[in-house]
Structure 1
Amino acid sequence: MYQLPYAVRESLVFDYTDPTVVTAFTSSFVHLETGHLLTNVFLYLVVVPTLYLLGIASGNRQRFYIFVSTVLVAFPPVLSYLNLAIIRSSATLGASGVVMGLVGCLPLTLADYLESRFAIGPVRTFAPMMFLTSLGLVSVLSVQSVVPENSTVLFVTAGLVLAVFLTVLFYAISAYEQVDNILSKLRSSADATGYFELSVAAIFLFVTVLFVAFPVDPTTENGVVNLYEHFVGYSLGFIASFTTVEVLNQFGR
């Protein structure tokens, strides 16, 4: 789509003041700047293979196809229209929100991998714990540029971080009896050549992408990074994947 004339690409952007069903879908695949396109393509090319490798290694290749196809098909229009929740005269374009939806699948996929390969779990505890911990990081990163000028934002952020901390603490307490067992498994897992490296690489990628998607300064030469869409995409990615697995488990699949 980047090869289309500039005017055509502009017409496919989702304009908040004139939203259409067509542009709600196409805007996620429209890029007006080369740098924007390359960044999203690069993130896609590292996140999707990581999800695929984790899925194969944990014996859940089918889930990978379900997650990726759902995000690529359903998320573009959903994210576009959710942008209308914040009234402003602007537009959204680019695949970063969709990519963050895929990143949102990482906590569950990684937790599933750790349980299946290293018996570190359960998934129902570790996946939400990783997701909620990452929300604390995201909330701090997202408001760095406005906190100095806005004490209200600082107060709300502090409350959010505290809530996340207490929630993570709750999950940690629920897994307290398994701590010694988990530590011994972590030590022994270092000998699992290949599998251990994959888990380390996946965790590193997970954290790094969050720093890239939620920069301290969201302003760029061509506009402002849509932190709201990144956050919504990431959250929906986890919620959708976690809910899907829970439903499939209920039906014994």
Structure 2
Amino acid sequence: MTPVPSGEGDPLDEGAQPPLDGFRQELLARVRAVDLFVLCAVPAVLVAVFALPEATRRSLAFAYTDPTPWTAFTAHYVHLGTGHLAGNLVGYGLLASVGYALAVLSGQRRFFLTALATFLLAFPFVLSALNLAVPRNAVGFGFSGINMALAGLLPLLLWAYARDRFFPAVSSRSLPAVFFLLAGWITLLALPVSTDDLGLAGFGVAATGLVTGVAYALRTGNWLRRPVRERIRTVTSQEGYGDLLVIGAVLLVGYPVVGFPTDPTGSGSVVNLYVHLLGFCLAFIATFILLVSDVIDE
């Protein structure tokens, strides 16, 4: 892992930025075949499980009234409908590919793969166990909780990439501000905003998260005091590299719209907003601790 800079720094020399061909060449040079195999193995497993008979897939789902360690794990790889599977495959494709590109170009490949392995192997047990805190006669299944964990990892990969490529002065102390801002955004999406008690509570939680995030960013983000036009020019001057940063930022803000729909009810099923929130928050907190503690050395 690249050491975290603690002081001030200057942006990269804009006059010496590599062209788009340089971006493509560097990305291809850093990508490893074994990494692509691991990334592609996940959708292959999801499709293979979906090819099983429906009765078998239902037996692999997590029944809250009859939980087992086996189904606690397998449920996160089970889908009963084509639309549900397709949505999770698209979400995984976007989050994993953009996250991997950010990681390899910022020297965080091992960090990304360690986080991915944790999400795939350990998070199913954790998310299923925490789901039992809300008793109900239902079954849980689907990969979306792990997708939301990848979304929780994305802010840290964006930070590492932005620090490495554009703003060396940006400190990891700014990351909690991003978490609070995203938590407020998610609350606005997930909870209704109205004049009744639940609506007011949702608005209050969202406002608290957004205000806390802005205040924290202003307090810790000295690099933000640079003129906005200068920051934009620093990003846009690096063709390819700047595009990836923008794509990652749009995905970071846009994916919660999919993960936390205004109406979570569907045809015979309900989107588990609770497990989505758990996946996002646990992933951010765990990987933040891992990143700033400098446990993984690239």
Report the TM-score, using the length of structure 2 for normalisation.
0.79
Q: Out of 271, 276, 285, which is 1:225 matched to?
A: 271
- Output the amino acid matched with 1:27: A
Match of 1:202 in 2: 248
Q: Out of 32, 40, 43, which is 2:91 matched to?
A: 43
Within 2, Cα distance between the matches of 1:248 and 1:169? 26
Q: Residue 240 in 1 paired to residue 279 in 2?
A: no
- Output the amino acid matched with 2:122: A
Query: Rg bigger for which structure?
Result: 2
1:20-169 aligned at under 5 Å gives the runs: 20-119=68-167, 121-144=169-192, 151-169=196-214
Q: Which string of whole-angstrom CA distances, capped at 9 and with x for unpartnered residues, describes residues 200-230 of structure 1? A: 1111111221101111111111311111111
Unmatched tracts of structure 2, length 5 or more? 1-48
**Per-residue deviation, 1:176:** 5.7
Tell me, yes or no, if the aligned pair for 1:112 and 1:123 is still in contact at 8 Å.
no
Unmatched tracts of structure 1, length 5 or more? none
Tell me, yes or no, if the aligned pair for 2:174 and 2:220 is still in contact at 8 Å.
no
3-state DSSP of counterpart to 2:51: coil
Q: Residue 174 in 1 paired to residue 219 in 2?
A: yes
**Per-residue deviation, 1:160:** 1.2
Q: Which string of whole-angstrom CA distances, capped at 9 and with x for unpartnered residues, describes residues 92-126 of structure 1? A: 10000011011100011101111110015534233
Within 2, Cα distance between the matches of 1:179 and 1:244? 25
- Output the amino acid matched with 2:126: V
Cα root mean square deviation, aligned: 1.9
Tell me: CA distance 1:182–1:130, structure 2 relative to 1, closer, same or farther (3 Å): farther
**Per-residue deviation, 1:46:** 1.0
**Per-residue deviation, 1:231:** 0.7
Percent identity reads 37
Within 2, Cα distance between the matches of 1:71 and 1:108? 15
- Output the amino acid matched with 2:215: F
Tell me: CA distance 1:134–1:143, structure 2 relative to 1, closer, same or farther (3 Å): same
**Per-residue deviation, 1:247:** 2.4
- Output the amino acid matched with 1:222: G
Report the TM-score, using the length of structure 1 for normalisation.
0.92
Within 2, Cα distance between the matches of 1:199 and 1:220? 34
**Per-residue deviation, 1:162:** 2.8
- Output the amino acid matched with 2:196: S
Within 2, Cα distance between the matches of 1:214 and 1:225? 8
**Per-residue deviation, 1:159:** 2.4
Within 2, Cα distance between the matches of 1:169 and 1:185? 18
Could you list the runs of 4 or more consecutive aligned residues of structure 1 that deviate by over 6 angstroms after TM superposition?
none
